[in-house]
Amino acid sequence: MKKNYRYLFGPVPSRRLGRSLGVDLIPFKTCTMNCTYCQLGETTCEVNERGDYVPMQDVLAELDAWNKRDGQADHITLAGSGEPTLHRHFGDVFRWVKENTGIPSVLLTNGTLLHSAEVREDAALADKVKVTLSAWDEASFQQIHRPAQGVTFELLVKGERAFRSTYLGELSVEVFIIEGVNSQEASVKKIAEVVRSLNPDRIDINTAVRPPADPSVKAASQGHLQALAELFGPTASVTASFKKQGFEALEISEEALLGLIKRHPATCAQLAADFNYPGDKMFKTLKAMVAAGLLREDKSGGETYFFHRA
Residues 221-251 have pLDDT tens digits of 888 999 999 999 999 999 845 344 444 445 5
Residue 58 pLDDT class (50, 70, 90 cuts): very high
User: Whole-number mean pLDDT of the chain?
Assistant: 88
Residue-wise pLDDT tens digits, 181-190:
999 999 999 9
Q: Quick check: 11 and 21 in contact, CB under 8 A?
A: yes
**Res. 98 pLDDT band, cuts 50 70 90:** very high
What percentage of the chain carries pLDDT values higher than 70?
Answer: 92
How far CA 6 is from CA of 14, 53, 84, 260, 310, in Å, comes to 21, 13, 15, 12, 14
Residue pair 172/128 in contact by the 8 Å Cβ criterion: yes
17-31, 123-137, 166-180: least confidently modelled range: 17-31
Determine the pLDDT at residue 205: 94
The pLDDT of residue 41 is: 79
User: Which carries the bigger pLDDT value, residue 308 or residue 153?
Assistant: 153
Per-residue pLDDT at 265: 81
Is residue 300 packed enough to be buried (19+ CB in 10 Å), middle (13-18) or exposed (0-12)?
Answer: middle
CATH superfamily of 8-240: Aldolase class I (3.20.20.70)
Q: What pLDDT score was predicted for residue 246?
A: 40
Alpha-carbon distance of 46 to 104, in angstroms, equals 30
pLDDT of residue 242: 34
Q: Which of the two residues, 281 and 95, has the higher pLDDT score?
A: 95
CB atoms within 10 A of CB 310: 6
Contact present, 42 and 34 (Cβ < 8 Å): yes
Q: Among 21-30, 52-61, 118-127, 198-207, which is the least confidently predicted range?
A: 21-30
- The yes-or-no verdict on residue 283 having pLDDT over 90 is no
Residue 118 has pLDDT above 90, yes or no: yes
DSSP E strands: which ranges in 109-238? Answer: 128-132, 170-176, 202-206, 236-238
Query: Given pLDDT bands bounded at 50, 70 and 90, which one contains residue 253?
Result: low
Report whether pLDDT(179) > 70: yes
Strands 45-46 and 30-31, by their bridges, are parallel
